[in-house]
Amino acid sequence: MFGFGRKSSNLFGLDIGSTSVKLIELSRASGTGAELYRVDAFAVEPLPTGAVVERKIADIDAVGQCIQNALRRSGSKTKRAAVALSGSSVITKVIPMTASLSDAEMETQIQVEADQYIPYPLEEVNIDFDIVGPTAGNTEMVDVLIAASRRENVDDRVATLEIAGLTAAIVDVEAFAMENACALLLGHSDEAHASETVALADVGASTTTLHVFHGERTIYTREQNFGGDQLLDEIQHRYGMSKTDALENLAAETLPEDFETDVLIPFKDAMSQQIARALQFFYSATTFNRTDQVILAGGVAVLPNLAPFVGKRLGFPVSIANPFSIMGFAPEIDRHAIDHAAPSMMTATGLALRSFD
């Protein structure tokens, strides 16, 4: 169900987050300019409170209705989508296998040996695999990536799409989608980036996920319980607002004068500390001891002057993710809306890029 290595044209990327669904559809850009892709459809639709809890779909009907609303607002006519599972719900393992085996033979062998790697009954999981490349030091073997998730995680996403009249063409893994988007963002065709170690901190509503890339590969992923909800909670508590009012005032920049000094700066400090802590875990768990740059993603990344603030705290370059910075746009795309949403569209963009595998 993960759709590794399959040609999957005419689909859009759909990121089902904890507070919203995000939809993006891309096409190859025409002409001879630097733009490789064009944004043909785009939408962000808020989810009702409790529809997604701890990265799991709790209300399939509500999420399906939101997807349908997002599709309608986007104007897309495409009926096939790529969606993703969060890293915490997926087991991945790289194993060496004989290079001469066919795909069918590899699949059979993986099914036979899967119980060594997966702590669930095989009838309760979806499994897929992809050949990563030759095994280092052994030309007769290849490294094979196995991904598995409990069947209910996949079935819930398929069911939500069906409610919206859509088909799940690919069920991917968020970390792999983020890897695709980050490769596009950094332009890994440029050899200057090939030896860089780049950390991307995706700050969501309740969870911050640190993805670390070296060259074109993800080398480390870690989730921490920290997110934008902590900022909203403080606004609600300090100013006696509902969550809806807190969101609206934050977006409109109409909070009281003491907001920046008493609420926003402490939150930025806490975020910087969380990222620094996640990087220390990365250094401790690997042979790496430095990071060349940090990219901030997620809805929180739109906070004013966030990148220079975090960069000063961390001591190396920090930027805000914008996967659309080198893309063209269909005439009907709301440029202001997509620019505002860009930092939170990395996963959806990585999924949409599966059209061009």
Residue 242 falls inside a structural domain: yes
The domain in which residue 273 lies consists of 223-318
Look-up of token digits 């989608």? 177
Residue 336 falls inside a structural domain: no
Q: For the chain, what is the mean pLDDT?
A: 90
* Band of pLDDT at residue 84, cut at 50, 70 and 90: very high
Q: The CATH number of the domain where 307 resides is what? A: 3.30.420.40
Tens digit of each residue's pLDDT (9 = 90 or more) over 191-239: 556 678 999 999 999 899 999 998 778 899 999 999 999 999 999 999 9
* Band of pLDDT at residue 4, cut at 50, 70 and 90: low
Tens digit of each residue's pLDDT (9 = 90 or more) over 106-142: 989 988 888 888 888 888 898 888 888 899 889 899 9
The side-by-side arrangement of strands in the sheet containing 37-46 is 167-173, 80-85, 12-16, 20-28, 37-46, 328-329
Tally of structural domains, the chain: 1
Residue 233 falls inside a structural domain: yes
Residue 291 falls inside a structural domain: yes
pLDDT the model gives residue 189: 45
Residue 313 falls inside a structural domain: yes
Residue 251 falls inside a structural domain: yes
Burial degree of 79 (CB within 10 A; 0-12, 13-18, 19+) = middle
pTM score of the predicted model: 0.90
Residue 192 falls inside a structural domain: no
293 and 318 Cβ atoms separated by less than 8 Å? yes
Residue 353 falls inside a structural domain: no
